[in-house]
Amino acid sequence: MPGKPLDPTAMARRAAQELTPGAVVALGPGIPCRLPGELPPNGGVWFLAESGVVGFQGLGVDLNVVDGSGEPVALLPGGSFTGVVNIAGILRGGHTNLAILQPAQVSASGDFVHWTTNATGATGTTNATGTTSATDGLFAPGSAVDMAFGASRVVAVMPHQGPAGQPNIVSQCSLPVDGVGCVDIIITDAAVIRVGPTGLELVEIAPGWTADEIIAITDAPLTLATNVKDMTFEVPELIPPNKVYATAIEALKDVPEGAVVNVDGFAGPGGMAHYLMVGLRDVGVKGLQLISNTAGIARMSAFGAPNIIDHSILVENNQVAKATASYPVSPSASRPSAFEEAYNRGETELEVVPQGTLAERLRSGGAGVAAFYTPTGVGTLLAEGKETRTIDGKEYVLEMGMRADFCIIRGHKADTLGNVVYKGTSRNFNPVMATTARITVVEVDEIVEPGQLGPEEIVTPGLFVDRIVLRPPDFSAYL
């Protein structure tokens, strides 16, 4: 007589053991939506709801704050709201560490068939005639496909068998799949199974079950791990990682030689991360490839006082190998910028990109769009050598998404989780650049506690921000 199947709460608690501090975690409908309620509400991970919520805990009461199942959830201090398109970008753009889904079937190679279920965790649904209507699920991919293809790792949490005793873990899916080779680990009401390169491996067993009993209810071939363990249900303590750095140099000292660095800002000194720029100069790393709206013209454009800090300090320190920019030259031909002079001496490379194309290439890079067709620049020098395509009678040019190693941005305020708000036009390229880099560093006027920035007010959710530094009130020491 096999053991009793685990209840959905126990399955959710086991799934919580897959989380790591600071992880970005997408939850599909059904059992996965139980996870936030099992964890302490300390912002240790970022839960995403496909309805557009970032950072929530267990069940709430506000009908305007719902998870992917449409159930009300409680926003955490530091949680925020964003639209579905931004959620899609977070899923697809490499920002999501883990997707937790409740598929109807998972195959030996990690293919899966998804469909939504009710929150009780029952897979499959029963219509009036008493038969399971699995094919209904083919009409309900929701965001599951986006989650499965976007997340670094996919966890399936599901009953081992369907309501009629049919196996849910199968050699091959019996319905059209929603993802190919996507699932990495399967947590059921009886076992934990790893999806390996050569098939499924039983790694943990629920209380009261034996390996033979689990193999008997699994359609796919199952091998035993060398060290099969008992399933446990302790949830981990997830402390949010510290993001606040003491100085700009501390925050930038691991920028490698030749790094691609996004530098925010428009033209003038506003919205530019001056403190991080001097930090990058003082770190002294060479061969930088800057992506920026200008290549440093604030100093030449009579914006404000002399001794303005812009990209020129990096150029003059011989750190810049290339700039990708929309406005790389000084507006005054008689007063060239430091970058122009270096370019004219043959010391730097330059890639000129129209501003909207630059913004769109960055947005695409951050949102996991490999390439896009834009009408901008068709027939001009800027389209030379690029593919063109006529869509609905209009000609477009193919432009590539663009990503960076590091990004330095300038916010007005940040909370310690990394949520950022901006001020006026200093918003400029900051929010889009923040989505494109492996490591994003923000400099702000004020650092506050989570919950002190309004959830409707947050522009850059903290999941995009890795490091925070406080901007000094005075720069005389850095000139």
Partner 1 sequence: MTSETENPPRQGKVFPSGLAALNGITDGASVLVAGFGGCGIPVKLLRGLAEIGVGNLTLICQGAWPQESGKFGIADLVAGGQVKKIISPLPFLPDNGGPVKELWEAGKLELEIVPQGILAERLRAGGAGIGGVFLPTGVGTRFAEGKEVRQFDGQDHIFEAALKADFALLRAQAADTLGNMVYQGSGRNWNPIMAMAAAVTIAEVDQVRERGGLDPELIITQAIFIDRLVLAS
Which residues form the interface with partner 1 (CB under 8 A)?
49-53, 62-66, 70, 75, 81-85, 87-88, 91-92, 115-118, 125, 133, 136-146, 149-150, 176-180, 360, 364, 367-375, 389, 391-392, 394, 396, 400, 421-424, 455-457
> Measured from the CB atom, is 117 or 292 closer to partner 1?
117
CA-wise closest residue to 40 among 64, 13, 66: 13
- Identity of the residue, 71 or 282, whose beta carbon is nearer to partner 1 in the bound complex: 71
List, as one string, the DSSP characters of 24-87.
EEEE-SSGGGGHHHHS-SS-SSEEEETTTEEEEEEE-S-TTSB-TTS-BEEEEEEEEE--HHHH
* CB 39 to partner 1: min, Å: 21
What residues form DSSP beta bridges with 388?
397
Least separation in angstroms between residue 89's CB and partner 1 is 8
- Give strand pairing partners of 322: 289, 349
- Cβ of residue 408: shortest distance to partner 1, in angstroms? 22
Distance, CA of 419 to CA of 441 (rounded, Å): 12
| CB burial of residue 127 (10 Å; 0-12, 13-18, 19+) | exposed
Question: Residue 165 or residue 393: which is nearer to partner 1 going by CB?
Answer: 393
Q: Which amino acid would we find at residue 112?
A: F
How far, in Å, CA of 135 to CA of 133, rounded?
6
CA–CA dist 226, 26 (Å, integer): 31
Residue 147 or 468 with smaller CB distance to partner 1? 147
Angle between helices 355-367 and 84-92 (to 10 degrees): 70
Stated length of the chain: 479
CB-nearer residue toward partner 1: 115 or 209: 115
CB 436, min distance to partner 1, A: 15
User: Nearer to partner 1 by C-beta: 110 or 265?
Assistant: 110
CB of 254 to partner 1, least distance (A): 24
Minimum CB distance to partner 1 smaller for 74 or for 283: 74
DSSP 3-state of 187: strand
Nearer to partner 1, 147 or 295 (CB): 147
Provide the minimum distance between the beta carbon of 416 and partner 1 in the complex, in angstroms, as a whole number.
Answer: 21
Report the 3 state secondary structure along 3-21. CCCCCHHHHHHHHHCCCCC
Measured between alpha carbons, how far is 61 from 71 in angstroms, rounded to an integer?
A: 9
In the complex, what is the shortest distance from the CB of residue 173 to partner 1, in angstroms, rounded to a whole number? 11
Q: What is the DSSP letter of 340?
A: H
Q: What is the C-alpha R_g of the chain?
A: 26
Q: Quote the least distance from Cβ 203 to partner 1, whole Å.
A: 26
Q: How far is the CB of 410 from partner 1 (least distance, A)?
A: 15
Q: What order of strands is seen across the sheet that includes strand 112-114?
A: 112-114, 103-107, 169-170
Q: Are strands 103-107 and 112-114 parallel, antiparallel or unpaired?
A: antiparallel
Q: Which residues pair with 291 in a beta bridge?
A: 262, 324
What 3-state class would DSSP assign to 402? coil
Nearest alpha carbon to residue 100 among 8, 222, 200 = 8
- Whichever of 317 and 355 has its CB closer to partner 1, that residue is 355
Contact 436, 92 (CB under 8 A): no
Q: How far apart are CA 430 and CA 407, in angstroms?
A: 9
In the complex, what is the shortest distance from the CB of residue 71 to partner 1, in angstroms, rounded to a whole number? 8
The least distance separating partner 1 from the CB of residue 143, rounded to whole angstroms, comes to: 4
Closer of 75 and 191 to partner 1 (Cβ): 75
We find the least distance from the C-beta atom of residue 139 to partner 1, in angstroms, to be 6
Comparing CB distances to partner 1, the nearer of 378 and 470 is 378
Strand partners, 261: 290, 406
Nearer to partner 1, 212 or 392 (CB): 392
Q: Look at the alpha carbons of 434, 271, 423, 77 in this order and tell me if their dihedral is positive or negative.
A: positive
The residues, ordered by sequence, that sit 6+ positions from 387 with a Cβ below 8 Å of its Cβ are 397, 398
